[in-house]
């Protein structure tokens, strides 16, 4: 009994004489599959991704440099304005009261929280 994929001797001989060619027989399931060409990422995609990553790094670097240059220092509140605004009497009274309070806090002779006067040597038996 001869099956579809069996080859006779003569056919074999002819096959050897022929030039190599792509297989003619394609299994059914494979043949039915849609042929999809695997797309390679285009150069445009590479350029855009690269630009985005590079942009992120540049932004990060600039931000870090900014922090480094400013030295992470505290900006006093309120920070003195370079061009002071004009004030009326009510505003002056309010600001002056605040100044008086700030000056009161700046009195270095007043320390309401000195280190607690605790005894550092509380031994049951005196240490030698």
Is 31 or 124 the residue whose CB approaches another protein more closely? 124
Q: State which H helix or E strand residue 104 sits in.
A: helix 89-105
* Distance in angstroms (rounded) separating the CA atoms of residues 101 and 106: 9
* Distance in angstroms (rounded) separating the CA atoms of residues 108 and 110: 5
Task: Confirm if 87 and 95 have CB atoms less than 8 A apart.
Answer: yes
Is 36 or 127 the residue whose CB approaches another protein more closely? 127
Q: Which of 69, 95, 70 is closest to 80 using CA atoms?
A: 95
Is 7 or 100 the residue whose CB approaches another protein more closely? 100
State the minimum distance, in angstroms, from the CB of residue 51 to another protein.
8
State the minimum distance, in angstroms, from the CB of residue 26 to another protein.
33
How many C-beta atoms surround the C-beta of residue 77 within 10 A? Answer: 5
Is 23 or 120 the residue whose CB approaches another protein more closely? 120
* Distance in angstroms (rounded) separating the CA atoms of residues 75 and 80: 10
Residues in the site for another protein, rule: CB under 8 A? 41, 45, 48-49, 52-53, 55-56, 59-60, 63, 66-67, 70-81, 84-87, 92, 95-96, 98-100, 102-103, 105-109, 111-125, 127
State the minimum distance, in angstroms, from the CB of residue 57 to another protein.
9
State the minimum distance, in angstroms, from the CB of residue 43 to another protein.
13
């Amino acid at each position: 009994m001869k099956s579809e994929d069996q080859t006779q001797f003569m056919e074999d001989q002819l096959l050897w004489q022929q030039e190599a060619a792509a297989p003619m027989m394609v299994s059914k399931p494979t043949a039915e599959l849609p042929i999809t060409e695997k797309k390679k990422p285009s150069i445009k995609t590479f350029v855009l991704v690269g630009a985005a990553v590079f942009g992120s790094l540049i932004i990060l670097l600039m931000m870090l440099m900014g922090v480094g240059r400013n030295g992470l220092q505290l900006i006093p509140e309120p920070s003195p304005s370079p061009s002071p605004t004009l004030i009326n009497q009510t505003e002056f009274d309010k600001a002056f009261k605040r100044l008086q309070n700030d000056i009161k806090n700046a009195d270095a002779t007043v320390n309401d929280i000195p280190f607690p006067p605790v005894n550092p040597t509380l031994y049951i038996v005196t240490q030698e």
